[in-house]
Structure 1
Amino acid sequence: MNISNHSGNAPFVLSVLDNAFTGVGHRVENTIQEMIALAKLADKRGFQRFWMSEHHAMPGAAVPSPQMMVARLTGETERIRLGAGGIMLPNHVPLVVAEQFGMLDAMAPGRIDLGLGRAPGTDGATASALRRHKAANDEFPQQVGELLGFLENSFPKDHPYSEVHAVPGPWQAEQNRVPLSKTTTDVWILGSSTYSAHLAAQLGRPYAFALQFGSADVLNAMRIYRENFRPSKILAKPYSLVSIGAIADEDPIEARRQSTSSAMAMLRMFQRKPFALLPPDEVAAFQGNIQERQVIEQYTNQIIHGTAAEVAEGLENLQEQTGVDEIMLVVQGYSRHAQSHTVELIADHYDMTSN
């Protein structure tokens, strides 16, 4: 795993996560085009990677298949690493995922990341429709091992799948008498709890913690990851990332307004309503009870919002507290312009590369 930091004067590597937020009144076709534009912008401005997450049955999130968007973006970008952050592995058959990411690495050698998570990325009923059986996420470590076996063609001879091979991949190169590819997909372990920290450490893989979901025990998770890390052929020492919601604007009031839309969407999820991004004015007019307003306030405050300098200060404080190597901006806001503007302002603040 090679890291080349293009992130200007930032004291850490900077990346972008786009959840394909599609606000009420917005068309998904426009969201897809704006995601492509944002990936190109992040590439131009020197961000390390551009990830997308798997979500299902949510009107406010438009990418159930990040690997399809990655395939498109391989032809739209030049340098930036592209990835799924993540693929919810219990929703998938590991062999198929290995085949898909083998193809992606062939399209953009050395630029593909595969982040693996075990959450469903949706509600319980939809998860049931997606998964082979109800206990699928309990088998996550075994599924990860199976996926790595297919990606690396490394099953022992007595394994049931020792004669099953992911194509493209190392086996195909051997059969076709050509050199093995010099690049492979970088596999990350994702999570928002200490469970994932133990697994990432055991496997010697890079670890990404999703702080945008709430004030979980990120410090303990990072400690567990570092203290238990086992060097691997992929990674000699721990490498960690934390993702966090962020909105920057010249007007800090507008940044906070934009933050309220995703906070309201979280409240709707708790109320068993669809995850929908309402316009900030509609959120402001919401006549909720005290508990509902507290939830909106809580999730608004969990997003780092304000001027570029204020957001940068929040990111630097987060990095100082967690000691992570990389911070990923989870672009937020009802407006897609708010998301691209955040990327521009942070890039300007840190004097990041402009190709």
Structure 2
Amino acid sequence: MRFGLFCTFDNPHDDFARAFAEQTSLVRLAEDLGFEEAWAVEHHFNAESPVPSCLMTLAYLAARTSRIRLGSAAVLLPFHNPMLIAEEAATLDILSDGRFDFGVAKGGPFPMQNKHFCVDVAGSREKTFEALALIQRLLAEDEVSFEGAHFRADRVRLAPKPLQRPIPTYIATSTPGITQRAATLGYGFMSGPPFPLKIVARNVAAYRDAAPEADPKLVLMRFFHLAPTRAQAREEAATFLAPFIARMRETTARMQPEWTEWFDVERVMDDSLIGAAEEISDRLREIETEIGPRSVVLKPLSPLLSKRSADLAVFSEAIRPMAAQAAAS
């Protein structure tokens, strides 16, 4: 498995500049520690995670790093002009020297986004796939004409063109239907930190049913918190997670009520990487055996940069080697 860092640019101190500086330092540390990937979110109207443009943010991170791959998790395509996203994706791929992974999504259960961008929730799925189809053609072909329900292009010649042909593409989803479409189109898929592992396993099975010979290339994001004992780690993590879980329960009750039962603090911790080092190593082995992700991407929970940095160091220097040794034995 590969390992990465999930970048939400947390803002617990109500200081936007500090939030960006601290997240940047974590990405640079992750690269130094041997992590292979860093994925940045796109969030709108969210002071606690202020990342309205993950592509702009990744372009900055590309200039501050040299080896780590940089991914969007994810560009919310219904809110953007796909021709502009194609231009920005190609530019980012060049600026990162071909280190860009292109993750997309239709947008989560956050009604203010759809309201302010004037996007109908009911049509966002098909708008996402139509936008992605146009983007992929623009990135690959010399000249593109396109006529869809939402977007059109008339002999468009994209400039610049990306270094990677194609740019690795992933769809963020929690549903088997979208997962199966990702499989038939040859894309990987991503699963966010709060979603149950049983749902992720179901979606991996759906992917393989749709494309038996294909690799799901699953990017699995998980909450991560380390302490000397399991009890201490869970007590601390519960405090950090409780406000997030409460917000998600309130939001999903209105827009995606079938998700509500998933947002329970104990359940989320059970499906996360929370505990002592040896316990987390064992959990990684279980995840690799049961689900087989290509990448496990960590979302440190502590609001303190010093604690997040220390936990990443322990993961790299102790937990990852333990998991690798267990796999080899």
Report the TM-score, using the length of structure 1 for normalisation. 0.77
Aligned residues: 307
Give the corresponding residue for 1:152: 140
CA distance in 2, matches of 1:126, 1:119: 8
CA distance in 1, matches of 2:102, 2:33: 22
Give 3-state SS (helix, strand or coil) of 2:159's partner.
coil
SS at match of 1:255: helix
SS at match of 1:50: strand
Could you say which residue in structure 1 is the equivalent of 2:291?
322
Aligned partner of residue 104 in structure 1, secondary structure: helix
> Which position in structure 1 is the counterpart of 2:327?
none
Distance 2:142 2:190 in 1: 25
Q: Which residue of 2 aligns with 1:333?
A: 302
Task: Show the counterpart of 1:16.
Answer: 5
Matched, 1:186 2:155: no
Change (3 A) 1:240 1:268: closer
Query: Structure 2 CA distance, aligned partners of 1:15 and 1:87?
Result: 18
Q: Which residue of 2 aligns with 1:268?
A: 247
Q: 1:220 & 1:155 partners in 2: Cα distance?
A: 39
Counterpart position of 1:51: 39
Distance 1:100 1:156 in 2: 17
- Using the TM superposition, give the Cα deviation of residue 27 of structure 1 relative to its aligned residue in structure 2, in angstroms: 1.6
Indicate conservation of the 8 Å contact 2:145/2:156, yes or no.
no
Indicate the structure whose relative CO is greater, using CA pairs within 8 Å and at least 6 residues apart: 1
Residue 75 of structure 1 aligns to a residue in which SS?
A: helix
How far 1:63 moved relative to its partner?
Answer: 1.2
Q: Which amino acid aligns with 2:85?
A: V
2:182 equivalent to 1:200: yes
Which aligned pairs between 1:1-355 and structure 2 lie closer than 5 A? 12-23=1-12, 25-120=13-108, 123-139=110-126, 140-153=128-141, 161=153, 163-169=155-161, 181=163, 184-214=166-196, 217-229=199-211, 237-250=215-228, 252-260=230-238, 261-271=240-250, 295-349=264-318, 350-351=320-321
- Shift of residue 145 of structure 1? 0.9
Q: State the Cα deviation string for residues 50-95 of structure 1 (Å, max 9, x = none).
A: 0011112223212121111111111111100012111111121111
CA distance in 1, matches of 2:243, 2:269: 8
- Which ranges of structure 1 fall in alignment gaps of 5 or more residues? 1-11, 171-180, 274-290
Offset at residue 306 of structure 1 (A): 1.3
Counterpart Cα distance in 1 of 2:142 and 2:192: 30
Name the CA shift for 1:252/1:28 in 2 (closer, same or farther; >3 Å): farther
Kindly tell me: are residues 161 and 317 of structure 1, through their superposed partners in 2, closer, same or farther at Cα, counting changes over 3 Å? same
Q: 1:254 to 1:295 in 2, by over 3 A?
A: same
In structure 2, what is the Cα distance between the partners aligned to 1:167 and 1:329?
A: 35
Residue by residue over 1:136-183, the C-alpha shift from the partner in whole angstroms, topping out at 9 and shown as x without a partner, is: 41312222211211221277767552511322127xxxxxxxxxx465
Please say if residues 62 and 95 of structure 2, whose CA atoms lie closer than 8 Å, have aligned partners that are also in contact.
yes
- Matched residues, percent identical? 22
- SS in structure 2 of the partner of residue 59 of structure 1: coil
CA contact (8 A) 1:262 1:333 kept: no
Whole-Å Cα distance in 1 between the matches of residues 181 and 119 of structure 2? Answer: 23
The structure carrying a bigger helix percent of its residues is: 2
Structure 2: unaligned runs, 5 residues or longer: 253-259, 323-329
Is the Cα contact below 8 Å between 2:208 and 2:216 reproduced in 1?
yes
Seen in structure 2, the aligned counterparts of structure 1 residues 216 and 22 have a Cα distance that, compared at 3 Å, is: farther
Kept in 2, the 8 Å contact 1:189–1:199? The answer is no
Alignment RMSD: 2.8
Partner Cα distance (2:298, 2:19) in 1: 18
- Secondary structure at the aligned position of 1:188 is classed as strand
Closer/same/farther in 2, CA of residues 26 and 308 from structure 1, 3 Å limit? farther
Give the whole-Å Cα distance in 2 for the aligned partners of 1:192 and 1:263: 21
So what's the TM-score if we normalise by structure 2? Answer: 0.83
Q: Which amino acid in the other structure matches residue 81 of structure 1?
A: R
| Matched residue type, 2:115 | S
- SS state of the match for residue 78, structure 1? coil
Contact 1:113 1:185 in 2 (8 A): yes
Please tell me whether the aligned partners of residues 192 and 211 of structure 1 are also in contact (alpha carbons under 8 angstroms): no
Range with greater deviation from structure 2 (221-230 or 88-97): 221-230
Q: Distance in 2 between matches of 1:254 and 1:69?
A: 34
CA distance in 2 between partners of 1:31 and 1:258 (Å): 21
The structure-2 alpha-carbon separation of the partners of 1:94 and 1:156, relative to structure 1 and needing over 3 Å to count, comes to closer
- Distance of aligned partners of 1:302 and 1:351 in 2 relative to their CA distance in 1, 3 Å threshold: closer
